[in-house]
Structure 1
Amino acid sequence: MPANFPYKLGCTFHEDGIRFALQSPLADQVNLCIYREYDQDALIRLPMQRSSEGIWQHVEMGFDWENCWYTYSIQSPTNSAFFEASKFEIADPYALYVANTNHYLGFYKALIKRPTPFDWSESTQVLFENPSDLIIYEAHIKDLVAHPSAKAENQGAYLDFIEARKGGLHHLKQLGVNAVEFLPLQKFAYYEPPFQQRIESGLKNTWNPTSVNYWGYMTSFFHAPETLYASGAKTDPMALVGTNPSAEYELKSLIKACHLEGIAVIMDVVYNHASQYDLNPLKYSDKGGYYRLDHQGNYLNDSWTGNDLDTTKEATKQLIFSSVKHWLTEYKVDGFRFDLAGILDWSCIDELTELARSIHPGVMLIAEPWGGEYKPTGFSERNWPSWNDTLRNTFKGYDPVHQRGILFGEWPQGTHRYTIENLFRGTLLAEEHGLFHHSSHSVNYVESHDGYTLGDFIRTALKHDRHHHQQDHEQEAEHDIEGGIEQEVIRLQKLAGFMLFVSQGICMIHAGQEWARSKAIA
């Protein structure tokens, strides 16, 4: 292979064959492992060649390996704090399709496949001349189809979303929303380590008694669709997920169905940190090239959610840019909501903005503008809308017992009449407590996937008040207290909805907010 081999990271098809390229500059050796089936022994293991830039490469002439599975086996350097060693094989960080075993390590394998041809027919990406026209419905895809009342066929969440007779797309059409913002659909680490058990890497699960990551904010593969939502997928421990490669086609079918109804699809993406307990390929191929580390090679965690990615590093930026381009061009999504975008540096944001808008001029780029830094105004300067937590905390409150908002007749500290007027006008910079240059940059909401639902926030507040006022009446039954507040819950829920919908800017509601949904806090 010539030294100036024009590589592209990942597995790519060319006229003469299939090319593989992995960035792992500190590795002593990388072997390419090919499998005919996911659960069979390897057909062959081949040593890859290293370029001067630390890219390990292999070209396989012909296409005999198409639809096989592949991994990389990496031999690590001795005693380097900037390289994470593993005795297990890892999948390709740029893989377009990944299968796994339902175990906290994942045991991922990537499929050698071309993008599936798809007929988009008359479906086109949804454009909004004025972002303020957006009414976003934030939802976990399974929440819209899992309950029997959705009247779905249990074919997998992607197909059920399209075909459910009451839930899914049908419900969004009935509501009249024009955008759906899905919690992460990129391949993530679903199984977590057993609670309070220390695993091989030294990590101990002290945070999740269920040992299941339902939401999906632990991304493992940024180009691959989550196979757990595809037909035939199972959540049983040690079950194989994704070996029938249907997720790509089914997710594209979902997006097409939304577009045909004039509903934009916004993906919640997590580029600020990566999964930390599974065989994440970034961690085990180039720890120093992707992550924020201290001088001793320890991971930094300003996100408080995992190992932070470092967007000042070229490898991380190129991964993000490649991922955004892939989802815009191959899946035709309409926009992205960037989780904890305050961690992303401005240089990365500016380049990403230019790239995304060159592909889709009307793309929606929405920031959760905290995590590391709080910078909604900086995003506004770049014509990005941001989640408006000031409006949320002033209208609803931050805590249902100790820090309530004007919905309950209480004024948060430092709030004045002019503050509230400005919130209704779009939280404009020129006025009190302003954040944004334009009202269309304010994503107004009083409920999201984080924390209490609005209904539960209200219930908790009202129950506390009733307990406080009735503490001398010990015979008062708990169910009497709960049963007596539901009418008041609905009244306050409607008032909050009215306040939200008359506020200038983009409106976002969370799944179930329309009926005061109750759920466990995760």
Structure 2
Amino acid sequence: MKQGIPFFLLTMILISCTEKKTNYASYQDYPAPLQTELWLDYSKEQTTFKIWSPTAQMVKLNLYKESIGGEAFEHYEMSLEESGIWSKQLKGDFSGTYYTYQIKVNGNWLEETPGIYAQAVGVNGKRAMVLDLESTNPQGWDTDKGPKTSYPNEAIIYELHIRDLTIHPQSGSSKPGKYLGLVEDNTKGPHGISTGLDHIKELGITHVHLLPTFDHYAINETKLDSAQFNWGYDPQNYNVPEGSFSSNPYKAEVRIKEFKQMVKTFHDQGIGVILDVVYNHTGRTENSNFNLEVPGYYYRHWENGKLSDASACGNETASELPMMRKFIIESVAYWAKEYHLDGFRFDLMGIHDITTMNEVAKTLKAINPNIIIYGEGWTAGDSPLPIEQRALKHNTQKMPEISAFSDDLRDGLKGSVFEDASTGFVSGAKDTEESIKFGVVGAIHHPQVDYKAVNYSKAPWTNEPWQSISYVSCHDNHTLYDKLKVSRPDADEAAIIEMDKLSNAIVMTSQGTAFMHAGAELLRTKKGEHNSYNLSDSINQINWNWKFEHPDVFNYYKNLIALRKAHPAFRMVSATDVVSYLTFAAVENGLVSYQIANNANGDSWKNILVIYNARTKAVDYKLEGEWQLAVIDNTFYMDEGPKISKSIKVPAISMLIAFQK
């Protein structure tokens, strides 16, 4: 009898024949199938699963009945196509089936992953689900649209965390901390005040900016009855809403339905929805979904092979690599199309490369020309990406459709966010006027700005004024009220309140895109905490008693917003117009004034006089000609104010506006 091949040896030969052997010199050598569709392709007749993993030897597809627990009821070996694409097509209707991929690299099976293109996931995001996305659309979704915004500085952006707005025991919400709680109408707080959505509508903002609301690691969705809080800057699944804000994180379709209903309700009220996105790093590194597909590829490294960390969160993504760029562009496009979003705020945008950001803008504007795109024009550390290629604030002129935050105005107004004792224009610092002027004109080139005297930027960095995001506070660092308190311990409460109001009065009358932190209109405090990203609700929540206690402050903010919306002269669309129509007048220590002339940007007021007095005493301001008061101290006359001439006393720490018809 002839001796045959031993069974174990035959098995090893067969495995070696089916396993892919690859040996790339560097990530740049990896194939990049940029035109290949990597999203799940579902129909009732069949579903096609795809994953890009050029270094994999084998890839398995595992099917589950539940989002957590239990064994896979089926395993399939995926087939290798060209350019590192692995696929598997299954006949029949698999809607409602959970699945994972598993990659074999260098002879080792990695952890299971839902895949970076997962569109629906179960509890804690470990398993993806096949889903008919049309079944998640709320009634009227086909005709749903956000507000029209021809230029970004027509928007007044209100930055909030979904949980913060409704979690207080007196918020009046029946769904505190949830997507649907945020858009619940007719909620009442202490003494019958309006809260939640009705408060937002009453305030008059045009867009809500949601802190990261895609699926993140920090919250354990199986333990939502325990105290948990996080801002969400630790992304896990980029194309799925966070489950802890839904009514049932175990069912993948629920969070999608409720997120869409939230967007639809905001749109029904004429309010746009902007999503804070964190493509610059992942919440995990070694076992992130990116590394469980193509180990190492999606991240930047130094020449010695060490991971770079410009995010200060353990890693940074490599947006300049073709498949990472493809992912970012397709991901934001997916959110824009599937969820009807009206804008995107890029966390640490300076980590991304300029080419990627311009492609993002081009893609999004083709989907919806009203979409607003802005980001933080800085990094949190050094990066191997050359400075001239980074989407930094001072490179904004190379990104003509994108805006960046003006830390020049932010810290010019109230002092450095990194130094508690530092003060700014409103809190009594000297020699801050040029930073205020720079903020007023939207960081453009203006012949009356002395750039050498601007706090950070020594040159203009925008092409047009709307590319500058005008703000004085956000979720990071102290709230405005807390910063003023800690930097001016000698000031009484009344003075602190006047500084607070003047800060955002300057923001709302600057030519950039106006942005405010939720609760600033209520003197929001986080009890002096600098960084509340994982602190308790008692620190982060909006306490609705503040609205009852400070109605004068709320009404001041409400009137500021109404003023900006009514007068397009405060939001000119071109640098040419700002230079032509806006002229600075008296500028002295603690005082900045300017005029806007000739019905700028189609304004009903022919000439406008704006005076910011940060001094602790009233200023006797001389006038040329006759004017009509629009704003003085806490009074907003708008079009109905008294006539003034010769001179006017500008109250201490306040803004005055007058106009000529």
The TM-score, its normalising length taken from structure 2, stands at 0.66
| CA offset digits 1:200-237 (Å, max 9, x no partner) | xxxxxxxxxx99660111111111111110013xxxxx
**Are the aligned partners of 2:301 and 2:308 in contact in 1 as well (CA < 8 Å)?**
yes
Residues 365-400 of structure 1 show CA distances to partners (whole Å, capped at 9, x for unaligned) of 112111155732432441312111110011111145
Match of 2:215 among 173, 187, 190: 187
The one-letter amino acid of 1:218's match is D
CA distance in 1, matches of 2:438, 2:513: 15
1:69 counterpart (74, 83, 98): 98
Q: Does 1:223 align with 2:230?
A: no
1:429 maps to 445
User: Residues 373 and 402 of structure 2 are in contact (CA less than 8 Å); yes or no, is this contact kept in structure 1?
Assistant: yes
Residues 400 and 345 from structure 1, CA distance in 2 versus in 1: closer, same or farther, beyond 3 angstroms? closer
Task: Measure, in 1, the Cα distance between the counterparts of 2:45 and 2:420.
Answer: 66
Equivalent residue, structure 2, for 1:167? 195
The structure with the largest alpha-carbon Rg is 2
SS in structure 2 at match of 1:349 = helix
Residues 408 and 435 in structure 2, CA contact (< 8 A), matched pair in contact too: no
Give how far 1:285 is off. Answer: 1.0
- Local SS of the residue matching 1:281: coil
Cα shift at 1:462: 2.8
Q: Is 1:176–2:201 an aligned residue pair?
A: no
Task: Report which stretch shifted further, 333-342 or 33-42.
Answer: 33-42
Q: Which residue of 2 aligns with 1:486?
A: 493
Alpha-carbon distance in structure 1 between the residues aligned to 2:286 and 2:295: 14
Matched residue type, 1:462 = R
Partner of 1:40: 70
In 2: Cα distance, 1:86 partner to 1:518 partner: 49
2:414 match: 396
Question: Which runs of 5 or more residues in structure 1 are unaligned?
Answer: 79-84, 193-209, 233-240, 467-484
Candidates 270, 276, 295, aligned match of 2:278? 270
Shift in Å, 1:28: 2.0
User: Does the CA-based 8 Å contact 2:110-2:292 persist in structure 1?
Assistant: no
Match of 2:150 among 129, 134, 148: 129
Work out the CA distance in 2 between the residues paired with 1:219 and 1:391.
Answer: 30
Q: State the partner residue of 1:199.
A: none
**Structure 1: how far apart are the matches of 2:184 and 2:250?**
21
User: Does 2:486 correspond to 1:460?
Assistant: yes
RMSD after superposition: 2.5
Residue 428 of structure 1 and its aligned partner are, at CA, apart by 1.6
Q: Which amino acid aligns with 2:428?
A: G
Q: CA deviation at 1:491?
A: 2.2
1:375 correspondence with 2:392 = yes
User: Cα–Cα, structure 1 residues 211 and 313, in superposed 2: closer, same or farther, change >3 Å?
Assistant: farther
Are the equivalent residues in 2 in contact too, given 1:183–1:268 (CA < 8 A)?
yes
Question: Residue 408 of structure 1 aligns with which residue?
Answer: 427
Query: Is the 1:400–1:460 Cα contact (8 Å) retained in structure 2?
Result: no
- Conserved 8 A contact 1:445-1:508: yes
- Structure 2 SS opposite 1:283: coil
SS in 1 for 2:291: helix
User: CA deviation digits over 1:290-338, x for unaligned, max 9?
Assistant: 1112345432111212321101111111111111111111111011011
Q: Residue in 1 aligned with 2:336? A: 328
- 2:253 & 2:151 partners in 1: Cα distance? 38
- Sort the Cα spacing of 1:496 and 1:87 in 2 relative to 1 into closer, same or farther, 3 A: same
Between the aligned partners of 2:176 and 2:75, the Cα distance in structure 1 is 37
Q: Tell me the equivalent position of 2:503.
A: 496
2:105 paired with 1:89: no
Matching residue of 2:611: none
Which amino acid letter does the alignment assign opposite residue 250 of structure 1?
A: E
Counterpart residue number, 2:250: 242
Q: Quote the Cα distance in structure 2 between the aligned partners of 1:245 and 1:153.
A: 21
CA deviation profile, 1:74-105 (whole Å, cap 9, x unmatched): 22215xxxxxx77531112101011234xxxx
**1:207: which partner in 2?**
none
Deviation at 1:350, TM superposition (A): 2.0
**8 Å contact from structure 1 (residues 156, 231) kept in 2:** no
Distance, in Å, in 1 between the alignment partners of 2:485 and 2:421 is: 14
Other-structure match for 1:140:
161
Which residue of the partner structure matches residue 449 of structure 1? 475
Does residue 439 of the first structure (1) align with residue 465 of the second (2)? yes
Task: Return the alpha-carbon distance in structure 2 between the equivalents of residues 272 and 400 of structure 1.
Answer: 26
| Pairwise CA distance, 1:154 | 2.2
Counterpart of 1:515? 522
The residue that corresponds to 1:205 in the other structure is none
Query: Any idea what the Cα deviations from partners look like across 1:412-443, whole Å, max 9, x if unmatched?
Result: xxx56444323222222344243222221111
- What is the alpha-carbon distance in structure 2 between the residues aligned to residue 297 and residue 77 of structure 1? 18
For 1:25 and 1:138, how far apart are their aligned partners in 2?
Answer: 40
Letter in 1 for 2:504: G
Instruction: State which of 70, 85, 88 in structure 2 corresponds to 1:58.
Output: 88
- Asked if the contact 2:273–2:342 (Cα under 8 Å) also holds between the matched residues in 1, the reply is yes
Name the counterpart of 1:200.
Answer: none
SS of 1:307 mapped into structure 2: coil
Whole-Å separation in 2 of the counterparts to 1:374 and 1:396: 26
Question: Partners in 2 of 1:395 and 1:429 — Cα distance?
Answer: 20
Paired residues, what number?
459
Does 1:22 pair with 2:77? Answer: no
Distance 1:374 1:87 in 2: 34
Residue of structure 2 aligned with 1:114, choices 124, 132, 135: 132
Q: Post-superposition shift, 1:124?
A: 1.2
The structure-2 alpha-carbon separation of the partners of 1:213 and 1:277, relative to structure 1 and needing over 3 Å to count, comes to farther
Q: Larger relative CO (CA 8 A, sep 6+): 1 or 2? A: 1
* Alpha-carbon distance in structure 2 between the residues aligned to 1:438 and 1:355: 21
Q: 1: CA distance between counterparts of 2:70 and 2:255?
A: 22
Note closer, same or farther for the CA distance 1:313–1:170 as it changes in structure 2 (3 Å cut).
same
Q: Is the 8 A contact 1:365 1:384 kept in 2?
A: yes
8 Å CA contact retained: 2:405, 2:470: yes
- Cα distance in 2 for residues equivalent to 1:66 and 1:392: 49
Aligned to 2:404: 386
- Deviation digits for residues 35-81 of structure 1 (CA, Å, limit 9, x no counterpart): 01122211011111122311221111122x22110011222215xxx
Match for 1:21: what amino acid?
Answer: K
Closer, same or farther: CA 36–461 of 1 in aligned 2, 3 Å? same
